[in-house]
Structure 1
Amino acid sequence: MNLPTSAALILAVISICAANPISIPVASQAKVPFWRGNNVPQKLRTFGPPLKPLQQPSKQPILPLRRFHDKEPNEPLHHLYGRHMFPLNHFYQFPWERFRQENQEFIGRDQINIRARDIRLTNYYDNLYYGLITIGTPEQEFNVTFNTGSPTTWVPSVHSPFDANSRHVNLKYNNASSTSYIADGRPFETYYSQDKVAGHNSRDTIWIAGLVITNQVFGEAIKESDLFEGTMNDGVFGLGFSDDIPSLFDVMTSAGLFPAPVFSFYLSPYDTDPSGSILTLGGTNPYCYTGDFIFVDLSVPDSWQFKMDRVQLSNGTGIFNGWGCQAVVDSSTSHIVGPMEEVDALNRKLGGIPIPGDPTMYELDCSEVYSLPDVEFIVNGHKLSLKSRDYVVTANRGLETLCYSGIVGSQWKEYETPVWILGLSFMRAYYTQFDKGNHRIGFAKPATYNYALANK
């Protein structure tokens, strides 16, 4: 079963039919496309200030999608106000990386040291994670998401007229300002569900995780969909399987910069540490996980896809896709997406009520959240369990807090085998290793990560 090679980024908005409706964004860059009949709009709306001016101080409440917070059963959820809650990722790299221009000899020595490299990521309300790369000479900084669903790396071009995202006004790549720029000119386009990003390829020097890659191909985006309106990322760093042009990660691996063709994600929840997530290139970080990995071989050679035995509830009330199914781990899908009929049956077992006008989303009783069963994904006979805190999300309507299932339905009509997308909510619950060399994915229990201790 071949899945499309392009990724999908959908900022979906579900409006509830009520006096004061609420928008619930569900982000996805999954390789499996969303079906048009799923009522998935293409733009993100919030009730509160628009997303574009979030860098300006605001007294209006911001109503983001939040993961359910279970520190104390009777503790009220904390709601976010103003600019200070929106972290910017300019100094989250290793300290020596910030001074590389002043100490080229030190960086040269460090690059010879072949080891796995950590990139610190910022969590944007559990909906996406982004980290810093720089392109050109002198360096131009970009915050990018790291997408396992696509091999393409791109940033917005200064020649793009797209200014819907206010962050892109000043964070566009200007090849005329870079002395290391080399023209390429080949067109590129990457599809994001029903929209696409298009432009031309260029070559320049790219810095990432303290490593420099010269003459590297990447995309200069001239045409961007308004899917990116209001998002915190300036572009995308592709970690998917390459087709015609090798991905940046593949180039770095082939150049011998890493000990193994492996990368791993440690994703911390926003409530715990919004700037404590780690992407490790070239291996795993032993500070980020405990115990042994559960490995599963890929079932499709050009996708992070594998066979899953079934999905079930820990209280024994439901088994879903008991005859087997496929799963894709996707770092750019915010929650979990599954086949429509199975998701409907699962959410009804959880007491979920379909949201009027959109049968893919389900409202849950907040008073019952702590008693909900685990959702178990059975892989190679092992249980990978999500607790209610992992799959329940909340939103506000005035002073009222509403709870929703983060397991949403979709339908891929062109595929015979059911497909589940295990997004960020799943990856927060399990440290995830993507092993290109052995064509497998590994899952381990995440540790409580101490960045300062790990980088002594």
Structure 2
Amino acid sequence: MSISLRFIVAGLILFLVSRYATCQAMMRIPLKTKTLWNKDDVSLTNDNDNTYFGQIMVGTPGQPFNVLFDTGSFDLWVPSSIWPKQGSRRYRSSASKTFKRDGTKKEIRYGSGSLKGFMSNDAVEIGGLRIKQQAFIEATEAPGRRIYERPWDGIFGLSGLSKSTITGARPIWRTMMDEGVVTKKVFSIWLRRYSDSGENGGEIVFGGIDQEHFTMQSSCGLGEYIHSWSTADCSNYDKLSEVISFTIAAKTFTLTPRDYIERKNGKCKSVFADATTDLWQLGTPFIRAFHTVWDYQTPGIVKVGFAKSK
């Protein structure tokens, strides 16, 4: 899984559903530790524009884990006490006063590999937001080993569905909404480039949006993930001027070469790749360019809004 935060856009059926207004009473998860007004923050780190991850606490007392925040999946998982990767943090249920046993075996398949483990329940804290009981997977192994190569410990699925189609558990964002942990059923993502800010990766706001991070009201549509593989010489990178525009419900969203070409170690890499389905996929490069909002306030309807990041 080379992209951390992702959202699938169904190309031909994507449509504009509303203009996005300012939300108040928000809870925010910054993508690097800092204090913002009177809100609770948690660090989220930029791994050289590859993935964005931050720290959560599981159990009582809390056990820290760096997790990848992923809008394209349902479930939360962290390494169990028998996780084989050397140097990894491991969840120890025996050390938590709020642990509740389940034990049901589960397997998740990602684009970058699969994961096996078993279900458990415990308290989860994200910054100052505390969920008293959340179902999650204690991971025991990752066949194929690609997940072992990642700089984070686990994955925090951000799906807002009522239950995971894989484990049957209620996703953690749905738990936050159902139990009133957030006032507004909205979360927003603002990402920063590594070249601009290093590991200071940006911000996730649970419960609203931050007007400091965009330059206009968001246009909303339906909403996941883009891989980038091919590379080329970078000698003319600074001379590139072509822009690429996406028109969504009569609204134009434009990417510059800085948005759609990644330059690393003297090589340039396009963020575009062939698709195997008829879905258009807009991933992390698009979210870096456009502040993105997920709105669950209308029952049965999910709105996704975009506004130019700043």
For this pair of structures, how many residues does the alignment match?
279
Asked if the contact 1:29–1:192 (Cα under 8 Å) also holds between the matched residues in 2, the reply is no
Matches within 5 A, 1:252-291: 252-273=176-197, 274-291=199-216
Distance 1:135 1:145 in 2: 15
Q: For each residue in 1:54-96, what CA deviation from the matched residue of structure 2 results, as whole angstroms up to 9, or x when unmatched? A: xxxxxxxxxxxxxxxxxxxxxxxxxxxxxxxxxxx99826599
- 2:303 aligned to which of 400, 418, 440: 440
* Residue of structure 1 equivalent to 2:252: 383
Over 3 Å counting, the alpha-carbon distance change for 1:153 and 1:256 in structure 2 is same
* Residue of structure 1 equivalent to 2:273: 408
Distance 1:369 1:90 in 2: 28
Asked if the contact 1:31–1:150 (Cα under 8 Å) also holds between the matched residues in 2, the reply is no
* Residue of structure 2 equivalent to 1:122: 45
Question: Alpha-carbon deviation of 1:180?
Answer: 1.7
TM-score by length of 1: 0.56
- Relative to its length, the structure with more helix (as a share) is 1
Distance 1:152 1:233 in 2: 15
Question: Alpha-carbon deviation of 1:231?
Answer: 1.3
Asked if the contact 2:261–2:269 (Cα under 8 Å) also holds between the matched residues in 1, the reply is yes
Q: Which amino acid aligns with 1:127?
A: N
* Residue of structure 2 equivalent to 1:146: 69
Asked if the contact 2:116–2:141 (Cα under 8 Å) also holds between the matched residues in 1, the reply is yes
Say which one has the larger Rg.
1
Matched, 1:207 2:125: yes
* Residue of structure 2 equivalent to 1:137: 60
Matched, 1:428 2:293: no
Relative contact order, CA 8 A, sep 6+: which one is greater?
2
Partner of 1:389: helix, strand, or coil?
helix
- 2:98 aligned to which of 170, 180, 183: 180
Residue identity over aligned pairs, in percent, reads 29
- 1:157 aligned to which of 44, 55, 80: 80
Partner of 1:131: helix, strand, or coil?
strand
Asked if the contact 2:5–2:284 (Cα under 8 Å) also holds between the matched residues in 1, the reply is no
Q: For each residue in 1:156-201, what CA deviation from the matched residue of structure 2 results, as whole angstroms up to 9, or x when unmatched? A: 10123x21xx441xx0101111122111122222211373112111
Distance 1:387 1:205 in 2: 43
Q: For each residue in 1:298-355, what CA deviation from the matched residue of structure 2 results, as whole angstroms up to 9, or x when unmatched? A: 2xxxxxx3xxxxxxxxxxxxxxxxxxxxxx3x4xx5x56xxxxxxxxxxxxxxxxxxx
* Residue of structure 2 equivalent to 1:234: 153
TM-score by length of 2: 0.81
Asked if the contact 2:291–2:307 (Cα under 8 Å) also holds between the matched residues in 1, the reply is yes
Q: For each residue in 1:405-438, what CA deviation from the matched residue of structure 2 results, as whole angstroms up to 9, or x when unmatched? A: 22122323xxxxx222211111110000011234
Distance 1:363 1:119 in 2: 37
Distance 1:209 1:28 in 2: 19
Matches within 5 A, 1:86-101: 92=33
Gaps of 5+ in 2: 9-29
Partner of 1:410: helix, strand, or coil?
coil
Partner of 1:184: helix, strand, or coil?
strand
Q: Which runs of 4+ in 1 moved over 6 A?
A: 28-32
